[in-house]
Structure 1
Amino acid sequence: MGETLIALYEADLCTHPVDVVVNASNEDLRHIGGLAEALSRAAGPALQQECDELVRKLGNLQPGRAVITGAGKLPCKNVIHAVGPRWNEKESQKCTWLLKKTVKQCLQLAEIYNHRSIALPAISGGIFGFPLDVCTYTIVSSIKETLEEFQGNTRWKEIHLVGFAQDNIQAFRKAFKEVFPDSLPSYRSPHHASPVPRPRQSKRIKNFPVITTLEGLNIMLQIGSIEDTSIVVVSVGRDLQLDKGPLGRALLSKAGPMLQTGLLEEGGGRAEEGSVLKTKGYNLACSVVLHAVVPAWSQKNTPSKVRGFLFAWICLGFIMCVSKAILNGAGKAVEDECAVARQTGNNYVITQGGNLPCKNIIHFVAQDDIKSLVSQVLQECELQQYTSVTFPAIGTGLLLPPTWDPMENERVKIVELKPDSKEYKDVQEKFLQTCQSFKIEKIERVQSQYLWKSYQIKKCEMDKKNGDRNNERLLFHGTSQESLTFINDHGFNRSYAGMHAANFGNGTYFAVNANYSAHDIYSKPDANGKKYMYLARVLVGEYSLGKKGSVTPARKNVNNSVDLFDSSTDNMNQPSMFIIFNDIQAYPEYLITFTK
């Protein structure tokens, strides 16, 4: 667990020397009994007054929530008020995950406020009715899971489990042995409690620590650099010129001119308002830059128009993984709650919002009648007296191929096909049509959810644009052993155009027949004589004759610079190859390893 010390103390929480103590509170933060009353009395009236103000703003807290306040006259810096669940034998699973959620929120708040030591009592024990052994085991388990999730990247140096009654101490000790079988907790009596070091200085802006929204979302303003994130989103006008805004200029200066060049290539020189274009980060620390094409500001562009643009972008660009994205964002607790609740047999489940900035999530079983589904949701919202609800683009999600093996959390999975399977024989037959003199060593299926969904989004767009035209073809692409990992992970990259003959444009080339890609210049043999070729799905769409040196397909209309063909070819009457200029227009579906 890195450098975090977990210690068991027989002590009085009111005088315990840590940065932040956890108060086991009720839903309305009224400290009228037990430990809560003792802490409130020791802290003075300021503590209850601050809690009353929080409840006035946020309403009563639901079980599983925690908030932080000042400490009044207590020796600690802050108090975290944790609302644990009340025990219900019939809903024991739900009770335990709610308690885990409570503990995790306490640790997260301590991290946000840069505290290095935290003291937790037996939350939900006592009058909340949790069996003491279940209570302590759940708390210690949640601590372990949270530490593993943070992987040592926390400010906590000490986590104190504090109890005054001997049964609490013994229960915590037993739980620790069960959860950490290879370790023993540090144990100290009240006379041996020692002070802990002061927290490090944070980058938080003075007088602006953490804002808690009405929905309970904690927002911290922190000094940092925008490009030090995985993805940067920047707004740009329809002309796609990055140098017209301060953020665009700053990113362009750091990323280099290739950022502007890449954006112009992606957008074809000009783009529609509401569209989002993706480029690499180039010299930025981020991996991706998303360029949101926004309308020029004027008084006529009302807030509702801007909001409509953002919602359309979210729906059109990222809805293919909405269910998984929601569960990932909400956290494991919500996923667990779904698992517990769906045992009821209902066709929908209502859970807490988890880590998302909403109060509740309604999870529906997929059904064909979208109108009926929406009606049921609205009726449920009326019954629950919810004041607002957000719908995704229901029914537009993209399914993975049914032939794929389960992937769990794997980004990419390579699956070797069995020679007697229909899938193997179909690929083999297409390869041997022009490569009878070669021997297939193996055929592997490439499974990449990200590449597949990106490809399917492009396919949907092309199918809609071109009508009933057959936009997709199965084509071959020869490569070297050194390129396999990159292609499997990131797809085909037109940046490598020109490494071989590029007589019809600087794009990615695909052959109609396997024997073309089987030439050693394309599928270069490795040290063992093995050669490699992909059978790829390629969106050729409407194509035109390619031209040497071109970086995009030809224009359909000479008077319209953004109306382009979808791909290029070597021969309009009898194509033997196709060239694409957008990386997501091809998916590397099968990898064929073969020898002469």
Structure 2
Amino acid sequence: MTVGGGVKLQLVFGDITDETTDAVVNTTDFVDFQIGVCKDILTVAGADVEAELKAAKCIRGDVFVSKSGEFPCEALFHVCGQKDAVVIEQLVIRIVDQCVSLGFKSVAIPAISAGAGGLDPGVVARAVLRGVKDATSSFGLNSLTDIRLVLLKINVFLAFKEKAMQMFSTAVINKASVPQLPPVQQQQPPSVEADLSIVCNSSTSQQSVFRFLGLSRKDVDGAMTKLTDLYQAQCSSQTFRKEELKGLTQDDVKDLKQLVETEGLYVELSQGTLKVSGLNNGVNKVMQMINASLHCNLRREVRVREEQDLYACVAWCILGHRGNWERLPKTANHSLENNDVGGRIVDAQGDKLNVDLPRMEATRYLGGQTAKIKRLEHLPDFTLPLYWDNMAPGQTLKTVELLPSYAEYRTVKEVFKRSVGKTVLKIERLQNVHLRRAYEAQKKQISDKYKQQGGECEKLLYHGTTQDNCDSIVKTGFNRRFSGQNATNFGEGTYFAVNANYSAQPTYSKPAADGSQLMFVVRVLTGIYIQGQRNMRVPPPVSDQEGHDRYDSVVDRMDNPQMYVVFHDNQAYPDYLITFK
């Protein structure tokens, strides 16, 4: 859109590290340089710029200008929006003023404080656009011709677009330059007529005029007839049905319009059908273009189906920043499975990754951090949890010893050590397909029963055990028929403690000959619970009217429970086994 002083303002749905304007704005708090836009820009700019920024002494509302380092621009402007709309508006005015002072023609500005700053995108959009409007109407903008607002997230882009449409006259807005949502959003294409109307033209604009000179009317008429016949022999018409056109993208329509103008074709649009007339060569080119688009759409549909089918049976995952495995999107999943990673893949957050399949590693394009990747192959009737390792065909039980370097190991150990001062010797992850399948089915049943209340209430609890009982639990799970070995003060079910120190007592975790003890970390579906009582064989009914509808578990005390008791074996799954001493 064109704003004050003839400056062109563009809203760009993209990454600011791709910009090549004279000036690029970095948003930072001047304290933590490893978050958000700041981290991305400094990764490209290099260590010298980061050192210069760390040494900067800035006051509220300052624009700190630094060298650009490796970033492809003339200078970097560093600002802090301080999560304040007034400050942001003033900063934008100062950014424009700096550009004019330095003789810069173009500047790229991010959504200041909308990312790591946490401000509402609508508030940021209003402040930035007001700043642009004020700045371009106040200064003599001798050099500045382009202001690009670069917005990384689609919700932020849409907020800016909405505010811009409200703030600026529609007469100055070039709607053709407004980008469409990316394909991943599954946006419905505009109607065929709206798309193709720009291709249509007037028949008069395609006419040529010939003058015939001859010795007689007969000669002239003969020449005219011959030329007409020759011309008509080289012309044809082709009509394309609505079904053939529905897959055309906006870019296809632009290419089609250019082809029509180049070849001098005549185009009519009627009730969704498109009729193209002109010289054979030009009409054939249009036919080839539309057929190519149809084939492209068919290939795209086949690819989407392939990705969907593969996603149901194979999961490629990447290890996230916090040590949790995250599933990669369907397109990346398909590319990895087919070893089609010559370029990059994109993760669920939209970050680009370079993949080294032999080493099962992925490196982020921005930042250079390397993360592990892995492949899981689901069973026909069971989806492996993302944190599990892959299992061989036909394998239903697998014990995985965790390395101390694993984030998973550190997480389990840290919670255990909060209440137990003993030494952890080993932590094993237990992968039992039969037990986990039954547990997930029970989880769904409880979740459906209490859909509104969120009654599945899955908790990680502890259960001390002996070596004799350990193997049985790993293979067949918890069996309430063995209850009563230690106590049944709150019912004849299976007992799980909130704190590990309770289960670590020798009464429950009986030491072996070498002094080592065993304890399970257990996923337990506590659901809706009630106070337990001695000799309870099942939980009591939730109400007298519906005797079949019972509580899911019982506890030792209703205020701040320290012990949960379940009476259904499938309500507990042994997740980890800790060996300690």
Q: TM-score, normalised by structure 2?
A: 0.35
**TM-score, normalized by length of structure 1?**
0.34
- Which is bigger in relative contact order (C-alpha 8 A, separation at least 6)? 1
Whose Rg is larger?
Answer: 2
